[in-house]
Amino acid sequence: MSTIQTAHATPLAHAIPLAPARDSGMSRPLVFLLAAGAGLAAATLYYSQPMLGVLGSDIGAADRTVGWVPTLTQLGYAFGILLLAPLGDRFDRRRIILAKVSVLVAALLAAGFAPSIGGLLAASLVMGLSATLAQDIVPAAATLAPAEHRGRVVGTVMTGLLLGILLSRVVSGLIAEHFGWRAVFVAAAGSIALLGAALWRGLPRFTPTTDLGYGQLLGSLVTLWGRHPGLRRAAMAQGLLSLGFSAFWSTLAVMLHGAPFHLGAAAAGAFGLAGAAGALVAPVAGRIADSRGPALMTRLGAGLAVLSFAAMALSPLLPEGGRLWLLVASAIGFDLGVQASLIAHQTIVYGIDPAARSRLNAVLMVGMFIGMAAGATLGSQALDIWGWNGVVAVATAASAAALVLRLFTRSDR
């Protein structure tokens, strides 16, 4: 066990006995548990997206009002990261994770039984706040992993997180198509309850790395932002990429539901299978970040996102079947780019100050999910005013700005 592991994690007496995994310095079951936990928690943020086309008519809400469901979820996640994730440096991360599991189960059940759009919106906000347990799990993995394999371990856990995000759309689309949108939230509550039981049994304790009070802890986020240019660039670049990512996924279901496609929630959710390819690049991106440095991966990722989003502008020139294949190919491309950039940015951020990993991660993820929330809002407005080409323009411009920022970065310190 590495020095970092010894300093920050003391296994519980009832924890699952685990054998070390080859090369990673961590046990395979523990890495799998962290990856599954991150994925199931993050998935709750996206279950609503493929269902927006049917959810609005069923609950009696306009498209623009229904668009606030993913927006509030993302905003709740951003505020949760800002206000709650820094507590991982001050308290035992295990206790924080288990507490959030309980709140998330309650929020999902509230969404599933919401009698009106108002109740659903309130539940969506709480859902986002408590789903930040995913962002307690990722720094936990970075703490447990030896420094020389941190990128690989974080990349593996992020594969679980990203597969959860992308496959959530497939699962929710299929369940909503056959059993209704309420069943999606109830089933999700059950999955998080099972996750909580597994984490209670298998997750080790973590020793706090600071004794700062809550106010000082939040104030230190500003200090870290001002002190580390690499943190600022990572947060801004990933936020811009996330804006384009969210603009696409937040409007895809509505676009496919209308002319000329007239496709249901299951078809919109199936696009997650194409996007899931992006999650599979996470361990590879982590290895490259460990061996070649993360700066190269941020530029390659942003460049691929720009090309993939821009390619969608060719859609009007193609027949209906060709448009769908172009959307699939573009989804694969920009997901690869966005996720590779995220792993590289996390590698940069986690290496800045080991004692402040939860707070550094909080700053990075707040930037990312502010971009997500902005993308959901701007994407919906662009679709309403200019159609699908407006969404493409928003996503392409945001990704191009991220690429420019990374190209002119001289140092990530």
Q: Over the stretch 125-147, which tens digit does the pLDDT of each residue have?
A: 999 999 999 989 988 887 887 76
pLDDT at site 275: 62
How many helices (H) does the chain have, and how many strands (E)?
18, 2
Residue 265 is predicted with a pLDDT of 64
- Please indicate whether residue 103 or residue 20 has the higher confidence score (pLDDT): 103
Q: How confident is the model at residue 191 (pLDDT cuts 50, 70, 90)?
A: very high
Tell me: the pLDDT tens digits for 386-402?
Answer: 888 999 999 999 999 99
Angle CA(348)–CA(26)–CA(199) in degrees, nearest 5? 95
Average pLDDT over residues 240-253: 89
Within 10 A of 221 (CB to CB), how many other CB atoms are there? 20
Instruction: Report the percentage of the chain scoring pLDDT > 70.
Output: 83
- Written as six digits, the tokens of 385 are 């005013």
Tell me the per-residue pLDDT of 107-123, one tens digit each, with 9 for 90 and over: 999 999 988 888 999 99
Rg (the chain; Cα; Å): 20
Q: What SS3 state is found at 387?
A: coil
Residues 20-69 pLDDT 10s: 344 445 678 888 999 999 999 999 998 988 887 777 777 767 667 777 88
The residue among 23 and 8 whose pLDDT is bigger is: 23
pLDDT of residue 325: 84
Task: Choose the weakest-confidence range: 79-88, 186-195, 296-305, 321-330.
Answer: 321-330
d(CA 398, CA 394): 6
Residue among 154, 391, 353 nearest 255 (CA): 391
Nearest-10 crossing angle of helices 68-83, 52-59: 110
The mean per-residue pLDDT over the stretch 153-170 comes to 81
pTM, full prediction: 0.72
- Give the residue extent of every domain in the chain: 21-407
Q: How far is CA 391 from CA 14, 74, 289, 313, in A?
A: 51, 18, 31, 10
User: What pLDDT, on the 0 to 100 scale, is given for residue 331?
Assistant: 86
Q: Which of 27-41, 187-201, 313-327, 349-363 has the lowest mean pLDDT?
A: 313-327
Is the separation of the CB atoms in 246 and 375 below 8 Å?
yes
So what's the pLDDT on residue 14? Answer: 34
DSSP tag of 62? -
C-alpha closest to that of 170 among 115, 252, 289, 229: 252
Angle between helix axes 68-83 and 214-227 (nearest 10 degrees) is 100
Q: How confident is the model over 338-374, as pLDDT tens digits? A: 988 988 898 888 888 888 888 998 899 888 878 988 9
Q: pLDDT confidence of 11, banded at 50, 70, 90?
A: very low
CATH superfamily entry for domain 21-407: MFS general substrate transporter like domains (1.20.1250.20)
pLDDT at 5: 34
